[in-house]
Structure 1
Amino acid sequence: MSESVKKIGTVSKVNCAIGLPGSKSVTHRALLMAALADGKSVIRNPLKAEDTLLTAGALRQLGAEINWDDEQETLCVIPPQHRWREPAKPILLGNSGTSMRLLLGLTATGSGRFLLDGSARLRERPIDPILKALGTLGIQYRCLGVPGFPPVEIQSRGLRGGEVVIDASQSSQFLSALLIASPCAQSEMRIGWRQPVASFPYVQLTLTMMEKLGMKYQWLSAQQIAVPAPQNYPPLDYQVEADCSSASYFWAAAALTRGEVYTYPVSPGSSQGDCRLLEVLERMGCTIEWEERGVRVRGGESLQAIDLDMNDIPDMVPTIAVVAACAEGRSHIRNVAHLRVKESDRLHVVAMELEKFAVPVRELPDGLVIEGGKARPPQTPVESHDDHRIAMAFAVLGLVVEGVAIQGAEAVGKSFPSFWENFELLGSA
């Protein structure tokens, strides 16, 4: 794919309303639960983006029928009669770590041999914790390259149930994958985990969705859940809430330009952890107002630096980093070492790109220290590093710093294909 360059124009003060796409995290989980269900499911307001299309394509290879209706903004999923059809070709998952990790759990619920692979970057993203957990539960696996990394061949005759403890310090998706698959085991599953868990709100999201669908589970301790099995997922009629991660860039735009952005539909009861970014922006000087269908963010007269443990909301680090670059004082972002195994090494990449703006930044093993102040126009384009969150975050910085261009702007298609169209609205006030 040839890289596109997007030039960003500065604006004095944004003032607009942005309609948000469906949540990527919820869409992924709804797709898997629908494929495991015992009948036809309808998913409403699904996110149709690169990552979710990869998950849907994988489910097709496994025998599910997947039909997108763009007019009605719905997605129909008909599960196969038997789990699963053995694909004739490898299941290719691009650079979607979510797809890889969650599908490893899903393939284990059926019978067959399955080869999962992806891009060069995906082959650098670890999957060893979920593989070891599946091995404990009777699943055979074989990494075809570097041990603990894709490509991986799974050979399954179904999850036998039992007790397992997983290390989810690099990704909560290892734990979510087991939880989603657990009702389909042959006997009760007892799933434990070690601390810390990266991005634990995503585990809570998984459990909330399972609960909505009637899946029973019981907390045995603060770090162990029992899931009775077998249970049947019912056919879904599921409304996907708007994506708070996508909203974050527009909330940051209000903060940086001292303007005002209304995003909808989103509610204070959102099950997405990234909604907590609003609390962070409030601490930095913004005003947050919840309205009937969405939330309004107003930037304050000045932005204050922040010292923050972001383990629960790591995807928001690039967004907070560009806001911190324009805040008064020194900001410290902590406890996000697992960002190094995302679509890019996000700690290194954020630091490298901020340096182009002459922003003093120090890269730590698990975070960043950013000296706020006046970011200067960069002499070279910002590189997206094929990372959607880098492209979108630095586009927002371009609203207040002249001369910003994003190299590899097409990376936004991974989670927010209409980002650039919506971004244009920020300059139309």
Structure 2
Amino acid sequence: MIKIRKDDGPFEDRPRRDAGQGAPDNTPRYDNDRPQRDEKRGPRKFDKRGPKRGGRDFFGRRPEAPPVDDDAPSKSEVVTGHRYNDIADIDDQILGLLEKRAFLIRKEGAWRKSRQKSLVDPQLEKLLRGAFDRSAGRLGLDAKLTKQLFTLLNQFSLADARKKFEGEGYKLAPRVEPVSAGIAGPRSFRFTRMMLAMAASAGARATLSPVTMNAPNKDLAKALKQVGAPIHWDDDFIRNDGGRTLEFEGNMAFVGEDKFNFYMLLCLALGHAGRCKFTGKPSLQLLDAASLNKVLPSLGARVVPMNPNNPGLPVRLECGGAMDESVTLPGGIDPDFAAALTLAAWSFPGGLTVKGLTAQARDRVAEAVAVLTACGIKAELGKDSVSVSDGVPAIDPQPQLPLSVPLNAMLLALPVLSGGRINLEGAWPRNEQADRVLEQLRALGLRVDVATENVVAVMENELPESADIPLGASPDLMPLALALALKVGDARLSGADNDVAVELLDRMGASYEIDGDVIHLKPGNPQWDGTWFSPEPVWSMGCALAAFAVPGIVLENHGEVTATWPEFWNFYNSLPTGKMKPKPEREKKDDTRRRIKIR
């Protein structure tokens, strides 16, 4: 039985209105508005004609009104406090039970792994699911939601265990001084992966460099190698030797945890008749793979989940039917799938026209169109559609990789936050998203000069007293947009449906109003308190920028940024000069040494 504790919560330091003043816990508490009961004489009754003497006492004096406490909580606040205490206590117990459940299943998986068996026992899962459904039925809970909940509960045992946070965290308190720095900007991770997929599918030789070998890039390289691509990589490059194309028939590819990798391989396989399988990490087991079947039948294919209890991976792809030359995407389709389908369309007979692109999907598709154009494939992007012709890609042996817009936009914004100038080495991409970033930064007083191989940003003008910041409409740019809005103070920020942004504003105690899809941030003095677990590395970087306006933000998981962009914290901590510590050199083996045997 779950016990509910009611003596804690946000109002535990305030007396409750129903509490007897000075009465011990074991004595009855009375309410002055109700008849009181005497143990010997029975209930006391009120005079129905009302109080005598007009409420005066024996001497004709009116009783003094009780003092009014302006700081006392209102009745609604008291009720909210009670509800918070009750529900928060139940949530705490649920999470504790969830941790125990995950531990037991993880322990079972370790035992099975030691005997070379699969981590999950199918018979045990079947019995647990049956018991779960029966209990949910007795409680009258929604059948569909409870099935999803059971699947989600199992993910906690398969996912990496989150380390308990201990210590003070990583405090962000940068020096607000004019920057004078230069850095080789990180190349676009998505462009890199799309170019690698193009080279592998076309059987072309290509070397991609410089490359940040993070998990998404490495996972795609491994997956392409599993389906026949001759790929090799090191710390800063990926090379496809060419000479042979991809072979999907009868193969299984492990795509890691990035859904865009899965979508690219899936769409590239549509041009190959046969069956193949895709699997990945636990996070992709909850992917809504069935939604893809709203589009795939028009392309002569379908996906079938291999585990009926999971909506996502692993899945089996069956393809080889007649393919339409035009498809219309439903409204809820993933924008990443639209980009992957566009990228693979050159390999379909007669090409493909994709209609029904949303604003977010159009940004993703624009990246794919840039890659196709660089490979000599004709692709035309319209307002809500894209048309790709079939053909043979012509891939440069050493293609130029453009800068990443979301990551390098944060570097370009540093002079806006602290003044000064910055020089980024690399080619700034030419697309609508990149143009919107430059337009926004220039509106805040930044001068940006874009050259062929570098970008220079200098803060020449004063920061405006108020500003409109529409960059928040793009989820990739919302962390940057929030940091800029906090620096301006009086700002109207697009993207009010972003829960992470609203959560951070609440944690800072910022004053704001939400009107439709706009957050109107008002001038004030936001202050940070406590620690925060960032949901994504890009949000950790956004907090690093926001700390120029709200110093003292403390992150619990700042190390995840290093896995995505290894140089970020080194560069950030070296500001305003940006002179980073040199990388430790890898120890080289001395091949000249010989072992001499002494007799």
What range is the shorter-chain TM-score in? 0.7 to 0.9
Distance 1:11 1:235 in 2: 45
Percent identity of equivalent pairs? 17
1:361–1:370 contact (8 Å) kept in structure 2: yes
Q: Deviations over 1:112-166 (max 9, x none)?
A: 321233343x445555554422222111211346786444332234884532111
Is this contact kept in 2: 1:11–1:400, CA < 8 A?
no
How far apart in 1 are the matches of 2:501 and 2:440?
A: 19
Stretches of structure 1 that go unaligned for 5 or more consecutive residues are 338-346
Counterpart position of 2:173: 9
Q: CA deviation at 1:279?
A: 1.2
Task: Specify the alignment match of 1:118 in structure 2.
Answer: 281
Shift of 1:97: 3.0
Partner of 1:342: none
Q: Deviations over 1:268-295 (max 9, x none)?
A: x534724531211222333333456222
Match of 1:178 among 341, 344, 358: 341
Aligned to 2:506: 355
Displacement of 1:324 after TM fit? Answer: 0.5
**Equivalent position of 2:218 in the other structure:** 53
Counterpart in 2 of 1:333? 494
Pair 259,380 (structure 1): closer, same or farther in 2 beyond 3 Å? farther
Match of 2:237 among 50, 66, 74: 74
Normalising to structure 2: TM-score of the pair? 0.61
- After superposition, the C-alpha distances for 1:1-34 in whole angstroms (9 at most, x for unaligned) are 6668432232122412222111112112111101
Greater share of strand residues, 1 or 2?
1
How many residue pairs get aligned? The number is 408
Alignment of 1:100-249 (within 5 A): 100-110=262-272, 111-120=274-283, 122-124=284-286, 126=288, 130-143=292-305, 144=307, 149-157=312-320, 160-167=323-330, 171-185=334-348, 187-217=349-379, 222-229=383-390, 231-237=391-397, 238-249=399-410
The one-letter amino acid of 1:181's match is A
Contact 1:135–1:141 (CA<8 Å) still a contact in 2?
Answer: no
Q: State the 1:60 CA deviation.
A: 1.8
1:319, CA displacement in angstroms? Answer: 0.9
Query: Secondary structure in 2 aligned to 1:239?
Result: coil
Distance 1:290 1:182, change over 3 A: closer
Q: CA–CA distance in 2 between the matches of 1:159 and 1:17?
A: 53
Shift of 1:333: 0.5
**SS, match of residue 325 in structure 1:** helix
RMSD of the alignment, in Å? 3.2
Partners of 2:523 and 2:331 lie apart in 1 by: 36
Amino acid at match of 1:422: F
* Residues in 1 aligned to 2:237 and 2:207: alpha-carbon distance in whole angstroms: 7
Change (3 A) 1:414 1:171: farther
> Which stretches of structure 1, 4 residues or more, deviate above 6 A after TM superposition?
none
CA distance in 2, matches of 1:272, 1:119: 34
- Structure 2 unaligned regions, length at least 5: 1-159, 579-599
The reply to whether residue 40 of structure 1 matches residue 200 of structure 2 is: no
Question: Which residue identity is paired with 1:392?
Answer: M
Match of 1:282 in 2: 442
Amino acid at match of 2:315: V
> Does residue 1:376 correspond to 2:536, yes or no?
no
Q: Is the Cα–Cα contact under 8 Å of residues 289 and 303 in structure 2 kept in the other structure?
A: no
Structure 2 Cα separation of the partners of residues 301 and 222 of structure 1: 36
Provide the TM-score with structure 1 as the length reference: 0.83
Answer yes or no: is the 8 Å Cα contact 1:38–1:234 preserved in 2: no
Aligned to 2:483, which of 322, 341, 358?
322
CA shift in 2, pair 1:218/1:14, >3 Å: closer
Higher share of residues assigned helix:
2
Flag the structure with larger Rg. 2
Of the candidates 382, 398, 408, which is equivalent to residue 557 of structure 2?
408
CA contact (8 A) 2:421 2:457 kept: yes
What is the Cα deviation at residue 206 of structure 1? 1.4
Segment drifting more, 298-307 vs 272-281: 298-307
